[in-house]
Chain A
Amino acid sequence: MSNLLFNNWLLLGGLLAVAIPVIIHLLLKRRPQRLRFSTLRFFKDQDESAKKRRRLRNLLLLSLRMLLVALLVLAFARPYLMGSANASGKAPRRYVVGVVDRSASMRAADHWQRTIDFLREQLKDLTENDRVALVACGDTTDVLSEWVPPGKIKPVLDELKPGLGGAQLAAGLTEAAGLVASREGSEPATVLLVSDLQSHSCGGLKNVVFSPETELRIEAISERELDNVSITELKPSGPGTFAVGFQNWSGKSSRTIRFDLVADGGKPVNSIVLLPAGVKTNVVLSPGNLAPGWHQLEIHAQSNDALDLDDDRYLAVNVPQPLVVWCVEAGHPAKEFEQETFFLRSALSPTDDQTPYYLAETVSTSEVFGRLQKESPALILLSGLHVVPPELPAALQRFTEQGGGLILFVGESVRADRYNIDWHGLLPANLGRVAGDLEVPEEFWHLSPDQTDDRLFTVFRGSENGDIAQPFFKRRFELIPGEGANVLAIFGDGKPFVIAKERGRGRVVLVNTSADTGWNDWPKRRTFVPWVHSLAGFATGQTPWLDGGAGRAREWGTPLVFEAGNSLAGQTVTVRDPAGEISKVTVDNTGGAKVSPTRLGVYSLLDESGKVREQIAMNLPVAESALDFLSPAEIQSSIKRVQMAGQAGAIAALMNVGQKELWRIILGTGLVLLLAESLLANRTWA
């Protein structure tokens, strides 16, 4: 295939000069001279066909002259044919670089089959004299073949398969530009991009630079928007629960999707979600009680859409051992619900059938000191104590310095002066007077909805996650934060609600309200449980539902590295892939064991006994589900055209190969036409 190009495009404006013969004709057109003659008897019945021939001749002459001018202008514009025969008459070698998008989205519908078919068709048009190179754009950009005859590309195409990651077409085109620059010949090259032109694959195209002579042909495989629903997310949403994200990428049709959540290959939890066009939503599910340890979760949706791969998503979850929490009470009421820490304990273990991230128990003030000598809980909650055992502050101070978390509540039984003395050095703030009257129902405070430090309120982000300004507080101490203490939460009037202080490796947190409903009504609110979990997480520095229990998942294209540990550096570890295939991986100096994934699913690092030490799930990149695409024209316009250094010689060579031939041919044709014009103009026809 050849394209007519010009070295001097601007000179084509000279084509306006074709009007010159017409203008001259009009200017010089004269009225016939009147001539008196003896008789007209011989002029009658003139042959009409002669007149027509004469008119035809005049038209031919005019056309010839216009054509002559046009040819002259064209010759000056230096036309040449890309891919035309060269001076020797031998067909010039064609250079074609195929840039194939093998991102996961190319698996949608019949895209991949069409891609391969198209490339095979293109190869048929080439001869063995031509040279072809092939670049594949996946999560990595690979030059599959440098310049070879077309016949050698066919086996490569047979082996080529779409990947599971995304693609950066810019990287592929840059590779192609490099290949073009490295070709042996000086003939023009063609870069053939075959892709679904997914929008997110087209980033960075403005950085791609082609020489003006390089032709970029784009074969858009996706010519219309396809219906697609995908699972975009699978993550823990709270203790024992998981959020599944769905998105309907279609802007036209609504879909009802059935899906299953499967934990460890067990019994699936079924559900249905309705997805209007273009909507993204989350569904929270619980797979049941998961014992501490690694678990693999899978979501399978039945979408029956263009892309099947994004109907599954995987998550590896490590359910940690529960954190031990002591709820310290001054006494032991007969009824459990009468204990001040009842609500706190209940909040830390909300239901029996869910994974217990905390193991809370009630401990009396008299037992704490003794048990601390032998045990080491993760967190101690102190309700408002009227009397503080003398040995307790020192014991708790050591406890926090060793990394324990301590949360102190106040209440009606707390006397500020005693507290300030008894807990001196441990309290993050000095207690002032008590404000508020329990008997006056109109007087109360709310928490500020605009907390400046949201470490305790992360879970309340978003309007649907509860309003922390709803609970009311009828009494509170006036607090004076101590040195090194941080106000973590404030009331609506700006007074401190929570003050914390680092002590050693642990934290002490003072909450300016009672642990029970004596001074507030928060335990009756649905925000209470997440609030207590946040508070406990901050105090202990451990958030089991966000850390170990957050699960581990990667999207294809990101490194899959197990944390085998420095002690295993240089040794091989055993990895099991989602299909159950075992492989050995060498641990690097940093203790990481990098795995090359081959399929989507959960990969497991096994210990010597074959038990799972660590799991990581590998998922399809969410972006691959978005099947919207750019037009070839948008791609073309993004590519920069810059004359490459060192290409001037190549262009000069091009001129010598075939481009000059065109203007010579045009001038030759012009001369022939000039001769014909002369003959025609001087011939007299009857």
Chain B
Amino acid sequence: MTASDQLDTAWLSSLGDLSLVAKSVVEGFMSGLHRSPFLGYSTEFASYRQYIQGDNLKHVDWKVWGRTDELYVKQFEDDTNLRGHIFLDASGSMNFGEPNKFAYARLLAAALACLMSRQHDAPGLTTFGGERVETLPPRSHRNQIDDLLILLANSKADGETIARPELLQVVETMTRRGIAVVISDLFGTGDDLLEVLRKLRLQRQEVLLFHIVSPEEMDFDLGGEFLMEDSESGEVIPVHAASFRQEYLKRIEQFCGATATTCDKLEIDYRRLRTDQPLEDALTFYFEERMAM
């Protein structure tokens, strides 16, 4: 299955399709199960460590205590110990481009959720845009992925990109260490989204930022004079596209560069994704980051 096949908007328009495609993407991507990098109290032994007060006595290896007279606790590989929270930008600016940025982002979110679920991580989802903030907290429940896909399927991209209090509240509830995947074009007013990213970092979340851009935005291959209408605010500006193209490309590169620099400072993994780019690139990126955790 090619990227273009995956990104067919008509194909993605139904819930079943989204689920199927997301799972297919993940199946195609994964060649096998990976092990959780986080050690927990699972069934497969990993190593020992010295007992510290508070450890469950159930995990003390008494045989070792008998031989060495020291208390050691058994450590096991834990494959379900990560909360993966996906933040999907559903603002009006995402509903743009060919392929559509929101469709692309939604599929990416679905694929990531499937990937998380398959890895026994607890996927969660928050969509935000305009006045709406809809969230599905991360859970390991077996129906979680279905609920998440339903939420995704019902989401629409409109309204302004605003860090509403509800969104910040979701972030503030993320007390357990986990991974936060933010999917957005970052075209909001002011630094609202940056503030969200900063708070996520403060909440000890490993943050992956997928910066979704469309070919039209990056190439700006237009000619003639246009009345450009802002997809979020409805503001109109006359633009002579051909004559402004160089300046535009310069400005958007500056914007992307500045965003990447900011992310670097906040130790956020930044990835810019063009919607004409295969989703595997994004999944690979996620997987690499996930393995590094």
Q: Do A and B come from one complex?
A: yes
Residues of A within 8 A of B (CB): 32-44, 46-47, 50-51, 54, 684-686
B248 touches A685 (CB 8 A): no
Cα A41 to Cα B229 in complex, Å, equals 11
Stretch with Cβ within 8 A of A (4 or more), from B41-49, B69-77, B125-133, B231-239? B231-239
Nearest CB of A to B130, in Å: 15
Stretch with Cβ within 8 A of A (4 or more), from B26-34, B197-205, B220-228, B276-284? B220-228
A34 touches B236 (CB 8 A): yes
Asked if B246 is at the interface (CB within 8 A of a chain A CB), the reply is: yes
B231 touches A42 (CB 8 A): no
Stretch with Cβ within 8 A of A (4 or more), from B58-66, B93-101, B163-171? B93-101
Nearest CB of A to B250, in Å: 9
Asked if B35 is at the interface (CB within 8 A of a chain A CB), the reply is: no
Nearest CB of B to A40, in Å: 4
Q: Which residue of B lies closest to A42 (CB)?
A: B251
Interface centre among A36, A39, A47, A685 (most CB of B within 10 A): A39
With beta carbons under 8 angstroms apart, the residue of B101, B228, B243, B244 that contacts A35 is: B228
Asked if B247 is at the interface (CB within 8 A of a chain A CB), the reply is: yes
Given A33-B224, A33-B225, 16 more pairs with CB closer than 8 A: A32-B238, A34-B227, A34-B229, A34-B236, A35-B227, A36-B96, A37-B96, A37-B228, A38-B101, A40-B230, A42-B248, A42-B251, A46-B244, A50-B243, A684-B242, A684-B245
With beta carbons under 8 angstroms apart, the residue of A35, A38, A684 that contacts B97 is: A38
Asked if B57 is at the interface (CB within 8 A of a chain A CB), the reply is: no
Interface centre among B235, B239, B243, B248 (most CB of A within 10 A): B243
Chain A residues contacting B236 (CB-CB under 8 Å) are 34
Cα A307 to Cα B192 in complex, Å, equals 105
Q: Which residue of B lies closest to A37 (CB)?
A: B228
Cα A171 to Cα B58 in complex, Å, equals 145
Chain A residues contacting B3 (CB-CB under 8 Å) are none
Asked if B141 is at the interface (CB within 8 A of a chain A CB), the reply is: no
Chain B residues contacting A46 (CB-CB under 8 Å) are 237, 239, 244, 247
Cα A527 to Cα B103 in complex, Å, equals 136
Beyond A32-B238, A44-B237, is A39–B243 a contact (Cβ under 8 Å)? no
Chain A residues contacting B235 (CB-CB under 8 Å) are 40
A38 touches B93 (CB 8 A): yes
Asked if B255 is at the interface (CB within 8 A of a chain A CB), the reply is: yes
Nearest CB of B to A54, in Å: 6
A38 touches B185 (CB 8 A): yes
A42 touches B252 (CB 8 A): yes
Kindly supply a per-residue 1/0 record for chain B positions 242-278, scoring 1 wherever the CB is within 8 Å of any chain A CB and 0 otherwise: 1111111001100100000000000000000000000
Chain B residues contacting A54 (CB-CB under 8 Å) are 240, 243
Asked if B217 is at the interface (CB within 8 A of a chain A CB), the reply is: yes
Nearest CB of A to B252, in Å: 6
Beyond A35-B228, A38-B101, A38-B187, is A43–B248 a contact (Cβ under 8 Å)? yes
Chain B residues contacting A686 (CB-CB under 8 Å) are 243-244, 246-247
Q: Which residue of A lies closest to B244 (CB)?
A: A46
A43 touches B244 (CB 8 A): yes
The 5 closest A-B pairs by CB, nearest first: A39-B187, A38-B96, A38-B93, A32-B225, A35-B226
Asked if B81 is at the interface (CB within 8 A of a chain A CB), the reply is: no
Chain A residues contacting B135 (CB-CB under 8 Å) are none
Nearest CB of A to B233, in Å: 8
Asked if B117 is at the interface (CB within 8 A of a chain A CB), the reply is: no
Chain A residues contacting B97 (CB-CB under 8 Å) are 38
A-B contacts, 5 listed (Cβ < 8 Å)? A32-B224, A32-B238, A38-B217, A40-B228, A54-B243
Cα A54 to Cα B225 in complex, Å, equals 12
Nearest CB of B to A591, in Å: 104
Asked if B144 is at the interface (CB within 8 A of a chain A CB), the reply is: no
A39 touches B229 (CB 8 A): no
Cα A505 to Cα B244 in complex, Å, equals 122
With beta carbons under 8 angstroms apart, the residue of A38, A43, A684, A685 that contacts B239 is: A43
Q: Which residue of B lies closest to A39 (CB)?
A: B187
Beyond A54-B243, A685-B243, is A38–B231 a contact (Cβ under 8 Å)? yes
Cα A33 to Cα B229 in complex, Å, equals 10
Cα A41 to Cα B161 in complex, Å, equals 13
A36 touches B240 (CB 8 A): no
Asked if B214 is at the interface (CB within 8 A of a chain A CB), the reply is: yes
Chain B residues contacting A685 (CB-CB under 8 Å) are 243
Q: Which residue of A lies closest to B220 (CB)?
A: A42
Chain B residues contacting A40 (CB-CB under 8 Å) are 228-230, 233, 235, 237
Chain B residues contacting A44 (CB-CB under 8 Å) are 237
Cα A43 to Cα B247 in complex, Å, equals 9
